[in-house]
A and B are shown apart, each in its own frame.
Chain A
Amino acid sequence: MKEAFRQSMAWLHTWAGLIFGWLLFAIFLTGSLSYFRMEITQWMQPEARLEVVDAGTAIGLAQRYLEQQAPKAESWFITLPDARQPAIGIMWVNHDGFVLKRLDPRNGAELPVRDSRGGDFLYRFHFELQMPYPWGRWLASGAAMLMFVALISGIITHKKIFKDFFTFRPRKGQRSWLDGHNAVGVLVLPFHLMITYSSLVIFMSMVMPAGILAGYGDRPQGFFNEVLPVSDAPEAAGQPGTLAPFGPMLEQARQAWNGAEVGQVEVYHPGDRNASVSLLRRSSDGVIYDPGTGLLLQGSSGQVLSATTLGSWPMRIAGGFYGLHMGHFATPILRWLYFFCGLAGTAMIGSGLVIWLGKRQLKHAGTAVLPFELRLVEVLNIAGMAGLVVAVGGFFWANRLLPVALAGRAGWEVNAFFIAWALMLVHAVWRRGRRAWVEQLGLAALLFAGLPLLDALTTDGNPWRYLLRGDWLMLGFDLAFVGCAGLFAWAAWKVRRAGLPKDSTIARRERVRPARTGALEAEMN
């Protein structure tokens, strides 16, 4: 009975993992990169290497700019700068849309930066998959639920979880892949569980509306008003008014929140007598993501209209998972840890896909042509993993190569990503399996190795100057690019070597010793 249960879980793990495997691989890879979303944006706008200014200076500059440029807007949104995002982000909303700008924190002028979505593209792709709202979010949530199932069924399958963790048999082909899959899965298991469950929590009110409908009947908006109480700003009076300076308001919030900083300032009806200013806490100050702590002030006087704080335990738990997933609170070392845990998850998914195919390929080791379904999985493996890495490289290259004056430039950077990915899919169909792996990994290595050079040729910076300037961010990117290139080159070399004569020996050995293959199958099936 117990053994039957484990076997059914092994079956579930195998198939649940396969079906959404490529999508999950892409979600995990872009998600890992998103932990450096703001840093990637900085790399992609190299014109502006900025120092951080204090919030008081920044808010003054933003207020001056907005009062001059958008006095009649319906609302303003100001994102205060911090070390990861030194530009002042502003947005204003008119009746016919919104305008987004980045301001220079030194003088409050618009930053003359190239049009690029930067890290935001990878971040958005991670959960919207470049699909229209809300379909991408639904698909990503479905993938997350499947990941949850695959994780738990994988744990059940893998009963000797701790014993096997210390068993790694290198250079044994399929066996090593399985050992690696298990080791990396177990090593960062808490991360995997946290990141998967929390991804469901983030979109829970969208994907599980039943509970909200049960509690609030046909007025689900009531739930959001109670959970996010910032929407009670006064209506416009229709008479002109003037705003008090925002600087002292920040100080007021700091005192109300025991020193916590303001991250975002929202102004409703800025030119009106009834203008109001809503101050929201900076999300990097605590683990718990807390959209509820806010202060609503009267725009003309700074008088408090309403104040809300994070409430109960259920809200804290939900906010805690949200915050843990986003990692806004993470200091640089923790951020790198997040990044590597994310890559470990990516590697776990990738190795699972390789194992699925490898095991079934053994049965066809003698034949020249793979059955259609195995060939399909092979092509998707190559394009979904090596091809995606090439696409990311293409995205970075496009950022440096596309002319600054190009119309719709940011969109073309994104197009470059998808064009590169599509080309890799065509390439994977065209070339035979192992050769396609080697060529795509090799191309990825070349692309990433070339990035520091490209950066030096197209901007005024280079690694030496970054070192002298103490610009660790740009230097860090150059080092990371070289590191990635090395990793991909190593992988290409390994795949190539595994394809040399030894390949057939492995296949023969597996056929000669059916007992061993059988045991392997039982464990992996």
Chain B
Amino acid sequence: MKSAVGGISVAYRLAVTSRVLAAVFGGYLLASAASACLALLLPMTRADAVVSGLLLAFVVYLLAALWCFACRSAWRAWLGVLLPSLLLALVYALAKRMAQP
């Protein structure tokens, strides 16, 4: 993530902006997806499962944000937050369908 000495290229700036967007919005999406899945799947009463999902959502958000800056490229940052979000969305849809006979 280090810039070249004596000037920062446009490509670098764009890549950083992209990572920031991935961390803020992609991370929020992943955290939301995780808390929604936990709210449905945790074997507790509904209110407890929701609260547990909320408590863990911020940890997911944190890890997603760290990932977005630790990975090797901005593309990987997006992939790393969107792919798990998609998987969780599938899990959520399945769980919803199972709940409604």
Contact = CB atoms under 8 A, between A and B. Distances in A.
A312 B50 CA distance: 12
A487 interface: no
Contacts of B50: 211-212, 214-216, 223
A5 B62 CA distance: 16
B82 interface: no
A311 B44 CA distance: 12
Given A12-B66, A12-B69, A152-B66, A215 B55 contact: no
Given A145-B61, A223-B50, A312-B48, A214 B36 contact: yes
B41 to A, nearest CB: 10
Nearest to A227: B47
Contact of B36 (A145, A149, A213): A213
B40 interface: yes
A314 interface: yes
Nearest to B20: A15
Contact of B1 (A7, A204, A211, A216): A7
A425 interface: no
A8 interface: yes
A208 B92 CA distance: 16
Interface residues of B, number: 32
Contact of A317 (B2, B55, B65): B55
B57 A215 contact: no
What size tier do the contact residues of chain A reach?
A: 35 or more
B45 interface: yes
A312 B44 contact: yes
- Most A C-beta atoms less than 10 A away, residue of B33, B35, B54, B61: B54
B17 to A, nearest CB: 12
A305 interface: no
Contacts of A191: none
Given A211-B38, A525-B2, A9 B46 contact: no
B85 to A, nearest CB: 11
Interface in B26-70: 31-33, 35-40, 44-55, 57-58, 61-62, 65-66, 69-70
Contact of B33 (A204, A210, A216): A210
Nearest to B51: A314
Contacts of B45: 312
Contact of A204 (B38, B54, B69, B70): B54
B47 A7 contact: no
B54 A11 contact: no
Given A212-B39, A215-B49, A11 B2 contact: yes
A201 B51 CA distance: 10
B46 A314 contact: no
Contacts of B48: 311-315
B54 A208 contact: yes
A200 B58 CA distance: 7
Nearest to A196: B58
Contacts of B65: 145, 149
B36 A314 contact: no
Interface in A138-159: 145, 148-149, 152-153, 156
B70 A8 contact: yes
A197 interface: yes
A308 to B, nearest CB: 12
A97 B38 CA distance: 40
A318 interface: yes
17 contacts: A11-B1, A210-B36, A210-B57, A211-B35, A211-B53, A212-B50, A214-B35, A215-B47, A216-B50, A223-B50, A312-B44, A314-B44, A314-B48, A314-B55, A315-B48, A317-B55, A318-B54
Top-4 shortest CB links A-B: A210-B32, A211-B35, A214-B36, A211-B53
Interface of A: 5, 7-9, 11-12, 145, 148-149, 152-153, 156, 197, 200-201, 204-205, 208, 210-216, 223, 226-227, 311-315, 317-318, 525
Given A153-B69, A223-B47, 16 more contacts: A145-B61, A148-B62, A197-B58, A201-B58, A204-B58, A210-B31, A210-B35, A211-B36, A211-B39, A212-B54, A214-B53, A216-B50, A312-B45, A314-B55, A318-B51, A318-B54
